[in-house]
Amino acid sequence: MIKKRFYITTPIYYPSAKLHIGHAYCTTLTDVFARYKRMRGFECYFLTGADEHGQKIEKNAASAGKTPQQFVDEIVDGFYKLWELLDISNDDFIRTTQDRHVKVVQDIFSKMLEKGDIYLGKYEGWYCTPCEAFWTDTQVGPDHICPDCGRPVQMAEEEAYFFKTGNYLDSLLKFYDDNPKFLVPESRKNEMINTFIKPGLDDLCVSRTSFSWGIPIRENPKHVIYVWLDALTNYITALGYDSDHPELFKKYWEDPECEIIHILGADITRFHAIYWPMFLESLGLRKPDREFVHGLLMMKDSKMSKSKGNVVDPFPLVERYGVDALRYYLTREVTFGSDGSFSPEQFVERINADLANSFGNLLNRTVSMINKYFDGVIPEYKGDVTAFDGALRTAAESTVRLYESNLDDLKITEAIAAVNDLVSRANKYIDETTPWVLAKEGKIEELASVMNHLANAIFVAAKLYEPVLVKSSPKAFDQLGIDENDRDYEKVYKFGSIGGTKVVKGDQLFPRLDAAIEVEYIQGLMGLRKE
C-alpha cells in the first residue's frame, strides 16, 4: 500500500573536505524520488545535512590552523553551493553542530543511560580514524586493516560508555524477518547477519575521551558522544523530536501514514541497519520503513575518495554541460543499488545517445513538422487513425505504469530507462508513418493524427523525465506551447489531452557533443589528459 506522505533522507555528509560527484550521486537520486512523489501529489519531506563532529575533523582543523567550527563552516558552505548547483529540492539541511541537534542528542543519551541501555566501561580495540569506527581482531585480520576503507587501524584504549546491543538483538532479527523490504538490496541484510551479528555482536562504544570535538555528555563532561549516536539521531532531531516544536516529528515520524526511507551508502550500512533500529527501540520510537543501500560510484577500479584525491568536481561539469546532463548521467548510467564507474567516454556517450540524438531530436523534429504542416498548431486528438497510432498510444500508457511501479520501489534507473524506451518508440513511429509522404499524398487526417500522437508522447516523456531534467522538461513544454498551469501530472493518464496549442520553436535542448573534444576536456578535469 502506498502511503500518503513520505520522509526521505540522504546520509549526512562528513565535511572533512569538499564534496565530489560521489556525494552528488546519492543526493541527486534521492532528489529524483522526492520530486517524483511531489509531482504525483504526495507530501514528501526531504532531509540532507552535515555530520560535523569527530576526531578527523579536529585533526584536519588543527592542521589548517582553524578551530573545528571555522573548519566545518567553510566546507559546509560548499555543500550548500553544490546542492544549489544541482537543483536539489531538500526541505531542510541539518548540521550536528546546531543547537537544535546538540541539546536533543544530550537528552537522548541521558534517557538511554537512565534506562540502563548505556553503561560506563573501558574500551580496548582497533580503531579506524577515517571511518570513526571500532573493530574486533577478527574484523581487522592479521594485517590490522579497516574492513571498510582498507587503511591501517590503531589499537585504542580508553574509558568509554557502551550501548547494550544484547538488549535489542533478538528484536532486531525479528524485525528483519517481519519486514523483508526494510533493507535492500537483500544481499545487505545477509551481510549484516553473517558478517556482524552471527560472529557475536559486541556492545557499541558510544563515547570518547581522546578528543574533545563532539557533544559533551551532561553526566560526565570529559566524554563526548561517539559520532554514530550523534550522527544517526539527525533523522529525528531535524524533525523536532524532543523539542518545543514537534509538529514535523508527529507528521513525518509518528504518523503511520508516512513512509520513512533512508538512502545510504554501503560503507555506513552497519550503523544504519543494526544500531539505528536499536537506538529507536530504546527510545520507544518506530523504525524506518526502508533503508536503501546504493552502490559506489567508482573511478576505474578504485573507490572514489577525497583522501585518495581521485574525485570528479561537479561544478565544471555543470558549467559546461548544464545541470540536467549531469543529473541524467547520474540517474541513468549506474543502476541504483549497484556499483558503477564514472568515465569521460560514458558521460559524453550517454548525453549524445539519450538526450541529444533521442529525446532532443524527437522534440526538434516534431515541432518543425507541426510548424511546416499545420502552421504551428498541434492538431486535436481524433483517436487512432493510422495503423501505427495505437502502438504508440499503448506504449505511452504502459510506460506510465512501469515508470510508477519502478520508482515506487526505488528502481530509479529502471524507471528512466522505461521513458527512454518510449522516446525510442516515438522516433521509430516517425519512420513508420512517414509524415513527409502523408503530406505529399495529401492525407491530412492521417498526418494530423501523427502530429498529435507525437506531441502527446513527447508530453508524457517530458513529464516523466521532469524529476531528473529539471530545466529541460519545462523547456519541452514551452516548445509544445503548453501553459505552465496546464502541465499537471494527471495528463499522463489521458493520452490525447494535448492538442490545439501553438508550438514555439526553441533551441536544441541538448546540442550534440563532439566526443573527442569533450572526452579530452573531462580527462583534463580528472588529471588524466595525456601531455
| Chain segment 387-409, per-residue pLDDT in tens | 999 999 999 999 999 999 999 99
pLDDT at 530: 47
What's the rounded mean pLDDT across residues 365-381? 98
In this prediction, residue 531 has a pLDDT band, given cuts at 50, 70 and 90, of very low
What's the rounded mean pLDDT across residues 232-253? 98
What's the rounded mean pLDDT across residues 443-462? 98
DSSP 8-class letter at 267: G
| Mean pLDDT, all residues of the chain | 93
Say how many C-beta atoms besides its own lie within 10 A of residue 464's C-beta. Answer: 28
pLDDT at 300: 57
Q: Residue 93 is which amino acid? A: F
- Angle formed at CA 142 by CA 137 and CA 145, multiple of 5 degrees: 75
Condensed to tens digits (0 to 9), the pLDDT of residues 116-137 reads 999 999 988 888 888 877 788 8
d(CA 340, CA 297): 5
Q: Residue 164 is which amino acid? A: K
In this prediction, residue 2 has a pLDDT band, given cuts at 50, 70 and 90, of low
Condensed to tens digits (0 to 9), the pLDDT of residues 100-114 reads 999 999 999 999 999
What's the rounded mean pLDDT across residues 490-504? 97
d(CA 109, CA 513): 55
Q: Residue 500 is which amino acid? A: G
Give backbone dihedrals phi and psi of 7, rounded to 5 degrees, phi first: -120, 115
pLDDT at 37: 97
pLDDT at 173: 96
pTM summary value: 0.92
pLDDT at 116: 97
In this prediction, residue 157 has a pLDDT band, given cuts at 50, 70 and 90, of confident
Mapped onto helix, strand or coil, the DSSP state of residue 123 is: strand
Examine the pLDDT at 186 and tell me if it is beyond 90.
Answer: no
- For residue 399, give the C-alpha cell: 510506460
| Rg of the chain, C-alpha, whole Å | 26
| Residue whose cell numbers read 563552516 | 73
d(CA 64, CA 72): 11
Confirm if 252 and 5 have CB atoms less than 8 A apart. Answer: yes
What's the rounded mean pLDDT across residues 503-518? 96
pLDDT at 359: 98
| Residue whose cell numbers read 490545439 | 500
Q: DSSP of 290-323, one letter per residue?
A: EEEEE--EEETTEE--TTTT----HHHHHHHH-H
Q: DSSP of 44-105, one letter per residue?
A: EEEEEEE---SHHHHHHHHHTTS-HHHHHHHHHHHHHHHHHHTT---SEEEETTSHHHHHHH
In percent, the amount of the chain with pLDDT more than 70 equals 96
What's the rounded mean pLDDT across residues 313-335? 93
d(CA 451, CA 430): 9
d(CA 240, CA 101): 9
Say how many C-beta atoms besides its own lie within 10 A of residue 213's C-beta. Answer: 23
DSSP 8-class letter at 351: I
d(CA 313, CA 295): 19
What's the rounded mean pLDDT across residues 59-86? 95
- For residue 18, give the C-alpha cell: 569538499
290 CB-near residues (< 8 Å, 6+ apart)? 181, 182, 183, 184, 259, 260, 261, 262, 410
- Structural domains in the chain, sorted by start: 5-317 (3.40.50.620), 343-493 (1.10.730.10)
In percent, the amount of the chain with pLDDT more than 90 equals 82
What's the rounded mean pLDDT across residues 499-503? 97
